[in-house]
Amino acid sequence: MADITAQPAASLGDYVGALRRRYLYLIIIAPAVLCVCLLAAFVITPLYQSTATILLEPSSVPKDIIESTVISYSDQQIEIVQGRVMTVASLKRIVGEIDPYPKQKELSAGEKAKQVLDNTSVERVDPVTLKPQTESNAFSLHYNNPDPEIAAAVASRLAQLFLSYNQLRRTEAAGEAAGFLHKQADDIVKQMREVDVQLAALKSKYGEALPELLARNQSTIDDRQRQLDALQQQILTAQEKEAELSLQLSQTSPNLITQSGDLTDVATVRAKLSEAEQRYTPEHPEVKRLKKALETLMAQSGGTAQNKLNANNPQYLMIDTELKGTRNSLASMRAQAAAISAKLERSRGFVQETPAAEREFAEVLRRKEVLQNEYQHTQDRLQSANLAETFESQQGGERFSMVREPSVPSSPVFPNRLGLILLGLVLGGTVSVIAVAIAESTDPSVRTPRDIQLPAGVPILASIPFIDNINDRRRRALAVTSFVAAYSIAIVAVGAVIVFSRHR
C-alpha cells in the first residue's frame, strides 16, 4: 500500500478563506444573536434600584453626664430594627400612601406590601466608601421597582420608617423605664405608710414605755425615789412627833386644877409629889394632898370625850391642836407617799416593758430605714430616667442618621443592558466561528491542493482557480440586498422597542 503524504498545518490564510467562504454564517448568526440580546435588554421589564444609606451614630453626650436607660447592642441594633420595621403590617401604611405597583391593580395592599418586602434588601456597608462590609455600623437600604420615581419615593419612606421607628422605640423604652421606676416609688411610699401605721400602733400600745422615753423614765424613777425617801423620812419624823405629842397629851389634864392654885398637869404634880416624898414621910399631909391630886389628874386624863370637849387647860388645848396638825400632816404625807409609790411602780413597769418595745420598734424602724434608702435610690434613678427620656426624645442617644438620601436612578439595575449587549457580541461571534468550523470540517469539497491526499512522491500537476461569473455576482448581490433589507427592518424594530421601553 502506498504511503500517504502528511498534510501541512493550516495557515492564517486558510482561516481567512474559510471565513470568506462562510460569510453567510457570520452575517446571519452574529447579528441575530446580537439582536436577540438587544431585544432582551430592552424588552425585559427593568427594575430601578434606589438606595438610602443610614448610619447608627453613637451618643454625642458622655455616659458619665447622662446615662441612657435604653439597652443598646450596636452589633444587633440594625438587625433588630430591620426585623421590626420590615413587616407586612408596617409596610401597608407605605402602600396606602404610595402605590408601588399602580399597574397591578389586582393585588391587595397586603400582597403589595409583601412584594415591597421581597424587593427590599439591606446590607452592611462602610460608612465612608459605602462598599459592602461585614462588620459595620452603617447599612444601605435597597429597593427595586419598575418605576425609578416610585423606587426613590418608596426608598425614602422606608428610610424614614427606620429613622422614626428607632427614635420612637428608644423614647418609648426610656418612658417605660421611667414609668416602671415611678410605679416602684409609689409602691415603696405605700409600704412606708404601712410602716408608719405600725409605728403609730406600737406607740399607742406601749405609750410611755417607748425606747426614746427610757432615759426620761429612769430619771423619773430616780426623782420619785428621792421624793419617796424624803417623804418616808418626814413620815418617820412626824410619827415620832405624834408619839411624843400623844404621850404629852395623855399626861396633861384637859382641865385646870384650882384647889391648890398651882397644879396644872400630871407631870407637875408628879414632880412635886416626888419632891415631897423625898422631904416628908408618907403620912405627911402634903404628900397625901399631892397623891390625891395626882389621882384626880389621872382620872381626868382618862376621862370621857365630854371632859376633853370641855377642856379648859391651855396647855392641853395647845398640845391637842399640835397633835391634830401633826396627824393631818402625817396623813397627807402618807397619801403623797402612796401616790409617789404608785407612780414609781408605773415608771418601773414602763422600764420593764421597754426592751420588748425596743425590739418591736427596732424591727419596724429597720424596715422603715430600708424603705427610705430604697425610696431615695429609686428617686435618684427616676430622676435619671426622666432626664434620659427627655434626652432620648431629643435624639441625644444612639440614633440613625441619613448618610445618603435615596435618589431617582437613571439606569436600571436589572437587566444589565450593557452586559447583555456585550454578551450578544461575544456570543454571536463565538457561535458564528463554531458554525464556520463545523461547516468546514464536514464539507468534502476540494478547494486547495492540501485538500487532496496523494501517495508519497506523486506531484500535483496543476490547479484551476475559481472563476466568478455574472450569475454568481447577481446571486451575491441579491443575498446582500436581502440581508441588508432584513437587518434594516430588524434594526428599526429593535430601535422602536428600545424607544418604547424607555417611555413606557
Percent of the chain with pLDDT over 90: 3
pLDDT band of 303, cuts 50, 70, 90:
very low
pLDDT band of 464, cuts 50, 70, 90:
low
Count of CB atoms within 10 A of residue 300's CB? 20
Looking only at Cα atoms, what is the longest distance across the chain?
227
9: amino acid identity, one letter: A
The pLDDT of residue 305 is above 50: no
pLDDT at position 499 = 65
Q: Cα–Cα distance between 314 and 256 in angstroms, integer?
A: 9
Threshold 0.75, pTM exceeds: no
Each residue's pLDDT tens digit, 89-118: 888 888 888 888 888 888 888 898 899 888
The DSSP H or E segment spanning 51 is: strand 48-57
Do 86 and 117 form a contact (C-beta atoms < 8 A)?
Answer: yes
> For residue 206, what is its C-alpha cell?
406601749
More confident of the two residues 119 and 489 = 119
pLDDT at position 306 = 45
The pLDDT of residue 72 is above 60: no
pLDDT at position 67 = 52
244: amino acid identity, one letter: E
Which of 59-68, 113-122, 225-234, 430-439 is least confident?
Answer: 59-68
Task: Give the angle 433-438-444 at the CA atoms, nearest 5°.
Answer: 130
DSSP 11: -
- Average pLDDT estimate for 238-258: 75
Do 393 and 66 form a contact (C-beta atoms < 8 A)?
Answer: no
Percent helix, strand and coil across the chain, each to the nearest 5: 70, 5, 25
pLDDT at position 457 = 63
pLDDT at position 95 = 87
pLDDT band of 453, cuts 50, 70, 90:
low
Do 400 and 78 form a contact (C-beta atoms < 8 A)?
Answer: no
Which of 84-93, 106-115, 134-143, 487-496 is least confident?
Answer: 487-496
- Average pLDDT estimate for 41-60: 78
Q: Cα–Cα distance between 406 and 477 in angstroms, integer?
A: 56
- Average pLDDT estimate for 126-135: 83
Do 43 and 420 form a contact (C-beta atoms < 8 A)?
Answer: no
- Average pLDDT estimate for 14-37: 73
pLDDT at position 392 = 59
pLDDT band of 43, cuts 50, 70, 90:
low
Each residue's pLDDT tens digit, 310-319: 566 777 788 8
pLDDT at position 297 = 64
Closest among 7, 145, 3 to 448, alpha carbons compared: 7
> For residue 456, what is its C-alpha cell?
508519497
The pLDDT of residue 159 is above 70: yes
SS3 262: coil
pLDDT at position 4 = 47
pLDDT band of 458, cuts 50, 70, 90:
low
Closest among 52, 82, 55, 56 to 142, alpha carbons compared: 52
pLDDT at position 391 = 61
pLDDT band of 346, cuts 50, 70, 90:
confident
pLDDT at position 278 = 80
**Most confident of the ranges 272-281, 293-302, 329-338, 449-458:** 329-338
pLDDT band of 2, cuts 50, 70, 90:
very low
Closest among 109, 92, 71, 108 to 161, alpha carbons compared: 92
Q: Cα–Cα distance between 125 and 60 in angstroms, integer?
A: 22
pLDDT at position 69 = 47
- Average pLDDT estimate for 489-495: 67
The pLDDT of residue 261 is above 60: no
Percent of the chain with pLDDT over 70: 71
Helices (H) and strands (E) in the chain, counts: 13, 4
More confident of the two residues 80 and 376 = 376
**Most confident of the ranges 65-74, 123-132, 256-265, 387-396:** 123-132
Query: Which residues partner with 125 through β-bridges?
Result: 132, 138
pLDDT at position 451 = 62
Q: Cα–Cα distance between 141 and 407 in angstroms, integer?
A: 12
Closest among 335, 343, 353 to 221, alpha carbons compared: 343
Each residue's pLDDT tens digit, 411-429: 787 777 777 778 877 887 7
The pLDDT of residue 469 is above 60: yes
Q: Cα–Cα distance between 279 and 272 in angstroms, integer?
A: 11
pLDDT at position 73 = 45
> For the chain, what is the mean pLDDT?
76
pLDDT at position 3 = 47
Paired sense of beta strands 138-145 and 48-57, if any? antiparallel
pLDDT at position 135 = 80
Q: Which DSSP string corresponds to 419-448? A: HHHHHHHHHHHHHHHHHHHHHHHH-----S
Tell me the CA distances in angstroms from 127 to 36, 72, 91, 136, one per residue in order: 41, 20, 26, 8
